[in-house]
Structure 1
Amino acid sequence: MASHETRIPASGHDASVPAPQVDTAAPEARHEPGPDPVCAASDFARQAAGDRRSPAAKRKARNERGLTTLEWLLIVAAVAGIAALAVVLVQNVVSDVSEQVAGSNARFVAAQLAGEQIVVEAKRPKDDQPRSVEDWGDWERHYETKCDRLRITYGDAGVEEEDVANMFKRPTDEKRTDPLDDDDVLSAAISGVPEAGKPQAVCTISE
């Protein structure tokens, strides 16, 4: 019976098993993936020729990136300008209102002084009275009318009819048709109820 011998390769490996493949190429000869030359050329051409995207595309790209530092600075500056303008407007309004109030108060005081001056004029002697004032009826009518006009002249200061106390009455011992022939009686005019020898002369403005 013939004997069978199993031959073993000299290398000591089973010939039926394929040997592992070893990359024997030199390191410098290996190929590493790099940027696509076509895309790179396209990006370079777009940068060289300028960004020709539509405004909508640019806005979309900018929105995706967010606001730039310059845009934030512009926004902050605009807000600060609006705030400063608001402060100036408020100051102007306050100043105008203060001036109006001060002017109104000054006019009201002027109305009060005018009323006092009318009383002074009513007490003057007969020779210093207007020519139209001949008797006690003329005297009452003249100064009541003059005092009543104050609410019209100083109406812008808030002077109203109920603010004016207007009373010019002859003495109780005189008739309306009696002439003004006694300067002492005129000068004796009082603010209260008229009496014998004392007419009433009142023209006051109260708040």
Structure 2
Amino acid sequence: MAKQGYHHGNLRQALVEAALRLIAERGPTGFTLSEAAKDAGVTPAAVYRHFAGREDLIAECARQGYAIFADVMEHAWNGGRPSALAAFGATGRAYLAFAKKFPGHYMAMFESGLSPNRSPELAAGAARAEAVVLRATEELSRHIPPGRRPPVTMVAAHVRAMSHGVVELYGRAAPGTHAPFSPEDLLESGIGIYLRGLGLIPPDA
């Protein structure tokens, strides 16, 4: 049902929220600007007062998503407390929780095909979230001599790919579909095996 009563000042955000609902239901390319306008209760022409096109609207969804995501990841990291390893695990669980709670944002960020470098604001948000994993990897690598440490950007890329894979394969399924393993257990065990293989955590940790 179309939403009514939006004023000019919050029309932009109303369109973002409409797009997020449509993205969550149909994917980033599964809706038109006209459908977003209808869902927000405005005419299609009104959309162009705020967004140049559908990609521009999706990019704003992604920008807002990165802001939330970075806050969630920073909270989970908690300055590396109570330990770097425990905090690293918390960021993995936070990734899965974000994807589940904010599917529209998540898909706009990671499944729309839009580059984070599309705008300085989008790039800054993506970099803030990425910085959490980079800091976590640096903390886990401190005990390894500098010449033998794996590149933190490589580790961050691998962890991100593993996290995204768990979301895609298991994180959106109905509860119990892939029992006896939960997405959280799959990600935690996978990252644990990976980090041990790199020597970032001892075998008995």
Q: TM-score per shorter chain, which class? A: under 0.3
Q: If the length of structure 2 is used for normalisation, what is the TM-score?
A: 0.25
Which has the larger Rg?
1
Higher relative CO (Cα under 8 Å, sequence separation at least 6) belongs to 2
Q: If the length of structure 1 is used for normalisation, what is the TM-score?
A: 0.25
